[in-house]
């Protein structure tokens, strides 16, 4: 296994950033860390990259201990942090040459690996990195992370803050990179990107809620799930739905409400109640659960195991 974490914990003062995190990443796998801001994704990546020392537990990268053998680890990984960290005053070309020199290689030597990424930014090769757009900065940072042909690629929220087209292009590039035999770990707050991974770890408040194939996660939801839709705003109906006897949970997902029932027997009663609201545009339909629904349910179970509908939890979903 290229990456093995066992009971890794890390605190910053009174803040517990990671709490006994453990999982394994297979060879050539595209593994995703999924969770909101503050879940511990960046801290975990910095430990894997040997930039932070864990308070407890162990992390092995390609058989090397990230604490005791950090020099070997750093030769084998490519790391793209969440914040753009290249030299703003250097041009695209100069940044690439600099990072190649640091790793004792040349741009020409590994050009076949970065070709697909570099072709997007080549027209701007003389432009200072600080004057690139968000999407172009992203591609330059990825090129620099790949320039020494690493065996493991760490990408910390690489698509945050870039447009939808750049996000799609980026994931297409990741698939091509993986075909080169490179193991990829990527973190993201976007649930739709989770479905593009081989396996994902759902993270919340420094802990792992679940590790599985994204498709498998959605099938683990066995409770009845429905959507309340409307041609107008559905938010005003959120509390009304939550007060229904058979409602286990209700959340705003984009422009609709996702409602989990305690059992199928309650569905006719709630449908009848919605009919009394005299709003002809309301639509009540059964839906298949998504990984997003699974994540919300796991959070509710962890934080409010005895709650009827988890009204105290708030989580922003980006769709």
Q: Is the pLDDT of residue 311 over 60?
A: no
User: Domain tally for the chain?
Assistant: 2
Would you say residue 312 lies in a domain?
no
209 and 235 inside one domain: no
Q: Where are the alpha helices (DSSP H) in the chain?
A: 41-48, 70-76, 92-102, 111-121, 134-146, 164-178, 191-194, 214-219, 238-242, 267-275, 291-303
Q: Tell me, yes or no, whether 105 and 200 share the same domain.
A: yes
CA end-to-end span of the chain = 33
* 114 and 243 together in one domain: no
Do the domain assignments include residue 313? no
Check whether 219 has a pLDDT greater than 90. no
pTM: 0.83
pLDDT at 16: 95
Same domain, 144 and 275: no
The range of the structural domain enclosing residue 240 comes to: 221-303
In a shared domain, residues 138 and 272: no
Instruction: Check whether residue 211 and residue 228 sit in a common domain.
Output: no
Q: What is the pLDDT of residues 18-39, one digit of tens each?
A: 999 999 999 999 999 998 889 9
In this structure, the answer to whether residues 201 and 78 fall within a common structural domain is yes
Per-residue model confidence (pLDDT) at position 18: 97
Residues 238 and 296 in one domain: yes
Read off φ and ψ for residue 87, nearest 5 degrees.
Answer: -80, 115
Which residues, including other chains, have CB under 8 Å from residue 284's CB and lie 6 or more apart?
226, 227, 228, 229, 270, 271, 274
Same domain as 244, residue 148: no
Query: For 92-143, what is each residue's pLDDT tens digit?
Result: 999 999 999 999 998 888 888 888 888 889 999 999 999 998 889 999 999 9
| 234 and 200 in a common domain | no
């Amino acid at each position: 296994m290229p990456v093995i974490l066992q009971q890794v914990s890390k605190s910053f003062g009174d803040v517990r950033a990671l709490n006994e995190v453990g999982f394994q990443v297979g060879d050539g796998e595209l593994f995703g860390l999924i969770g909101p801001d503050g879940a511990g994704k960046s801290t975990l990546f910095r430990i894997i990259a040997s930039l932070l020392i864990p308070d407890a537990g162990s992390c092995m990268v390609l058989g090397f201990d990230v604490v005791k053998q950090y020099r070997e680890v750093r030769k084998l990984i490519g790391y793209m942090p969440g914040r753009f960290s290249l030299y703003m005053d250097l041009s695209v070309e100069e940044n690439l040459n600099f990072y190649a020199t640091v790793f004792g290689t040349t741009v020409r030597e590994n050009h076949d690996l970065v070709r697909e990424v570099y072709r997007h930014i080549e027209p701007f090769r003389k432009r200072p990195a600080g004057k690139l757009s968000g999407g172009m900065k992203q591609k330059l940072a990825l090129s620099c992370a790949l320039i020494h042909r690493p065996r493991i690629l760490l990408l910390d929220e690489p698509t945050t803050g870039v447009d939808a087209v750049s996000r799609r292009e980026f994931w297409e590039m990741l698939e091509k990179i993986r075909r080169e035999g490179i193991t990829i770990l990527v973190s993201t707050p976007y649930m739709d990107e989770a479905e593009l991974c081989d396996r994902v770890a759902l993270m919340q408040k420094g802990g792992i809620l679940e590790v599985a194939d994204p498709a498998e996660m959605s099938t683990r939801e066995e409770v009845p799930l429905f959507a309340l839709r409307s041609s107008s705003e559905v938010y005003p109906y959120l509390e009304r739905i939550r007060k229904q006897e058979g409602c286990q949970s209700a959340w705003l997902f984009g422009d609709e409400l996702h409602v989990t029932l305690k059992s199928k027997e309650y569905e006719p009663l709630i449908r009848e109640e919605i009919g009394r609201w005299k709003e002809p545009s309301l639509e009540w339909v059964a839906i298949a659960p998504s990984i997003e629904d699974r994540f919300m349910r796991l959070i509710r179970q962890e934080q409010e195991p005895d709650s009827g509908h988890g009204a105290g939890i708030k989580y922003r979903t980006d769709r």
